[in-house]
Structure 1
Amino acid sequence: MSKQMIIAVIALLAVAGTARAEEKTLAEDPFALEQATHQSTGERPWVGKTPKEVQAWARKNLHHKLIGKEIDSAAHPEWQWFRKSGLGLFLHWGPPSVAPNNGDAWAMVWSQAKANAKRKMMLPEDMFAVAETWNPEKYDPDKWMAAAAKAGFGYSVLTSRHHDGYCLWPSDYGTWDTGEHMNGRDLIKDYVEATRKHGLRVGLYYSGPNWHYDYKNREFMHPPNKDFRMNYKHEKIDASNKLTSLMASSGPAEKEESEGQVRELMSNYGPIDMMWWDGNSIMTPAELAKLQPSIFVARGLIATPEGMHHGESENVKVTNEAGWWWELCIKSENRFTPNWHYGVECETNHWDTNKLLTELIRCRSLGGNLLVNIPPRGNGEMMEWYYEVCDEMAGWMKHSREAVYDVDLDAPLPTLDKTQNYTTKRGDLFYSLPDDQGVVFIRELQRPASVTLLRTGETIDFQYRDGSLRIVLPEAMKTELPDMVKIVLGK
């Protein structure tokens, strides 16, 4: 063996020995191990940038639903309820909730991907036929809202009109509503009164697109195809045919009908706290404000990421650093379905209480709200698991609500920068969710005056070194729901 080879072998052995020594050191020192593993390894495009620079990056790189507008909080104190409450109940309910429909108006829209996957697609007229006989005999929004109030929901959003175009109230505009098909029954009135009675803020969803209006001359394919068009019978027709595209208005008469319906919603039910547009907006925020001076507009003013494909933590961290308010709307399901409205899968494929609360904590730690969709059955009942989850949430809120309600939401926030734990804060108070091993690790933090289990107030031991805090939650303190650790910083 040459002298050079011997030197190389000795060097390799030295490097290996150093590596093993470092591994041993890390293994023997959990604090050092946490310091190494809790560094953020993903891209952090907000670091070192001004809010304006982050906004420019977001507009170039993120989905449009992650983009908001700057809101002057001081100029709109009437909207502070939205940021304080943090948790909304999304109620997709209407003809698509009723069998044989499969839980969403999009089921009547053809796509090649759905055809390839053999997903159920319905002819529009088959879906529309449900409304001819639908009359939910067990509709009880008072029961829904009583449970929601106990569980800590601050507001609710009901689909007053979804893409199928059916209005849940007797409208004077058009003929596709409860006035024509339920003998004038007003489902919106009952919902608004129940929501207000139980102290929740009243929100209404309204779909700009109306797929029932002049549907025989509307496109029923998405995304569009340049080679052919798809009519209401799901027949491929020549691309030269003039059909109204899926998300567009067919013309002035349809627009006038929609505007009239929105005016009714804004005029006939007392104060409405929130408008949630989908597809497109029928009125501007200024036009709505003439009818409801204090109304808060979700889509149109804030970022509204939809599901985890938009709402990953790194995405909404950018949104928060850009200075935009945001709200994650998401289905309460563990595996993907197309169901925003009720489908039988919703009975078993759903979040448990731990998942819902963890997702709420995540959203709050990143400066946003959670709007979780839990769809009522077609007959007007809520699923039994909804009430079970609400009861468990009510118990958790009694001791840990302060970790998610009225917390600091303006950037900079510690999650993803100083810690990988979901951590909310209010001034010098930090509330952190331990990871799966029961560990909390936060960097660049002053030494705490106290660390306690929020649920009980019991003191928890901690390590503090070089500006970093490490906490291990004892097994005896753990429960099946989020065990928030309260950290009071020293003075």
Structure 2
Amino acid sequence: MNTHGKMFTTLIALMLLGGSVGVADEKTDAAAGQHSEIGIAQAGGAKSGRLVPAGGRWFPKAGLGLFVHYGLASVGGHQDLSWAMMKDCPWNKGNSGVMTPNDYYAMAKRFKAEHFDPERWLKAAKDAGFAYAVMTTRHHEGFALWPSKYGDFNTSNYMNGRDLVKEYVEACRATGMKVGFYYSSPDWYFSRKYRSWGYGTKGTPESPHLDMNHQPIAKLPAKPADCDQQMADYVNGQLHELLTNYGPIDYLWFDGGIRGALSTDDIRKLQPNIIINDRQHGDDGDVITRYYEAGHLPDKRPPYPLWEHCFSMVGAWGYTSPPRVRPRSMLTARLARVRCWGGNVLANFGPQPDGDMPPEYYTFMKTMQSWMSWAGPAVIDVDPGPYPQQCSVPVTTRDGTWYAFVLPETKEAQIKLTGVKTPSQVTMLRTGRKLTAAIHGDHVIIDVPADAREKGTVEVIAIQW
């Protein structure tokens, strides 16, 4: 392993322990820096009074989605997808895993996906309670996972025309997963000659732009007058392919924006029932994601009917070697916090270079399946609960039953209910153990004894009247 590989491995290990995502610490605002670089819509806030579109009524019930980042960086195993080409990012001050764009793009010749088997890893996720999937069809790096007629950097040029997107869509349908496409409107390969590969460079002697070998250059080449229009035509051509070649698509997950991209109305003419996130179209998107990425969880209930928290379960967004997976408690605790306020969690994993998921993924999904076998009724097809107004811990509701979550970090588990009568029955879902509820002044208090809890497990308490 080279020095950069060792540094990157160390960084990922620290990130997994410290709760960070990407080549960045969640405690630093990496998401904001990345959003600025790729032009994510920065409108003041999505319309809170909007209605859920008819085609999106499945989304609030779903609860949990599988995010899949797959691209050229998996070949190296020590690089963050796309961002590995960008030098001196503020969230990666040591430039761990960074490589020149020329070296990065050369990995396309070694990207084979010889064991790409989405049905296998989607079935494991479906069995573990995941309801939808979102896979990168093209990340900022610019390599498209289908044989696009637009551009010259896709599977038609490097994989004999193999269509990984088609295989993924067929696998979603075979496993009963809703189909989501991730698509980056910005394409760094398209703009590779006209951009600096140093983050935030100013083109001054103190802050020179960097070329594709990370060498300083005095001035960036001038873009052709019609470059932006060419970019828009190229992006819209690829979007048209994605929206017309694969049957009904449930969810379009943009990441970044450009001028001239298809509008939401244009997209719905091609896919009437699709839902769209907010990262290209801002307030015109259906699903609000841009405020709730990585370490950013809301501190109050968001005012949007559809919102989603995405973060990575594997440290970086794509595959890294050796593979790791964060503990189940991290995902289940975030799921509890997000579902109690009506959102979904989109949890990311990255396939190996050959296209299969690492063994650690399947082991994790088995543990998640075990938790969902008893906790599923508290997070799937539920309504948001009255937290914190009437319940001191995160809570969801369904058909008059409240599902209260006791997180592992809760030292003394005591649930305080306000403005309710005494429950007729209080039950721990994992064990079936009955708990007592007592009135103390204006509150109902439910004690969850320490010996009733399992270490590292998000416990769920069903409260009935």
Q: TM-score range by the shorter chain?
A: 0.7 to 0.9
Asked if the contact 1:433–1:440 (Cα under 8 Å) also holds between the matched residues in 2, the reply is no
Structure 2 Cα separation of the partners of residues 118 and 162 of structure 1? 20
Residue number in structure 2 paired with 1:57: none
Q: TM-score, normalised by structure 1?
A: 0.77
- Is 2:51 the counterpart of 1:73? yes
In structure 1, the residue matched to 2:252 is: 275
- 1:20-68 Cα offsets, whole Å, 9 max, x none, are xxxxxxxxxxxxxxxxxxxxxxxxxxxxxxxxxxxxxxxxxxx959943
1:303 maps onto 2:288 in alignment:
yes
Match of 1:192 in 2: 169
C-alpha displacement at 1:472, in angstroms? 1.9
What CA distance in whole angstroms lies between the structure 1 residues aligned with 2:170 and 2:365?
Answer: 20
The verdict on how the C-alpha distance between 1:474 and 1:407 changes in structure 2, with shifts beyond 3 A counting, is same
The match for 2:459 is 483
1:329 Cα offset (Å): 0.8
CA contact (8 A) 1:164 1:212 kept: yes
- Aligned partner of 1:107 in structure 2 is 84
Q: Partner letter of residue 229 of structure 1?
A: H
Aligned-partner SS, 1:271: coil
SS at match of 2:383: coil
Instruction: Map Cα deviations across residues 104-129 of structure 1 (whole Å, 9 max, x no partner).
Output: 21110122647853433211111111
For the Cα contact (< 8 Å) 2:294–2:312, is it kept in 1?
A: no
Segments of 4+ in structure 1 off by > 4 A? Answer: 63-66
Q: Percent same amino acid at aligned positions?
A: 32
Return the offset for 1:141. 0.5
Q: Aligned equivalents of 1:473 and 1:275: distance in 2?
A: 42
Letter in 1 for 2:442: G
Q: Distance in 2 between matches of 1:112 and 1:85?
A: 35
Match of 1:328 among 300, 309, 319: 309
Equivalent-residue separation in structure 2 for 1:66 and 1:391 (angstroms): 41
Per the alignment, residue 124 of structure 2 pairs with 147
What is the letter of the counterpart of residue 429 of structure 1?
T
Residue equivalent to 1:293? 272
Distance apart, 1:291 and its partner CA? 0.8
Q: TM-score, normalised by structure 2?
A: 0.81
SS at structure 1 position matched to 2:124 = helix
Deviations 1:182-202, CA, capped at 9 Å, x for gaps: 001110111000111111100
> Structure 1 pair 234/147, CA: closer, same or farther in 2 (3 Å)?
same
* Cα distance between partner residues in 1 of 2:71 and 2:126: 23
Structure 1 residues 115 and 287 mapped into 2: Cα distance closer, same or farther (>3 Å)? Answer: closer
What's the offset of the Cα at 1:343? 1.2
**Structure 1 unpaired stretches of 5+:** 1-62
Specify the SS of the correspondent of 2:372: helix
User: Residue 361 in 1 paired to residue 336 in 2?
Assistant: yes
Q: CA deviation at 1:431?
A: 0.7
CA radius of gyration, larger in: 1
Q: Secondary structure at the match of 1:255?
A: helix
Which is helix-richer, 1 or 2? 1
Are the structure 2 counterparts of residues 162 and 383 from structure 1 closer, same or farther at C-alpha, using a change threshold of 3 Å?
same
| 1:110 partner SS | coil
Distance 1:88 1:484 in 2: 21
Q: Which moved more, 1:191-200 or 1:96-105?
A: 96-105
How many residue pairs are counted as aligned between the two chains? 407
1:243 positional shift? 5.5
Q: Which moved more, 1:414-423 or 1:190-199?
A: 414-423
The aligned counterpart of 2:449 is: 474
Cα-to-partner distance string for 1:400-429 (whole Å, 9 max, x where unaligned): 2110112214xxx42233344121123532
Deviation, 1:136, is 1.3
Q: Distance in 2 between matches of 1:448 and 1:112?
A: 53
Counterpart position of 1:398: 373
Point out where structure 2 has 5 or more consecutive residues left out of the alignment: 1-40, 279-284
Shift of 1:89: 0.4
CA contact (8 A) 2:423 2:437 kept: no
What is residue 134 of structure 2 aligned with on the other side? 157
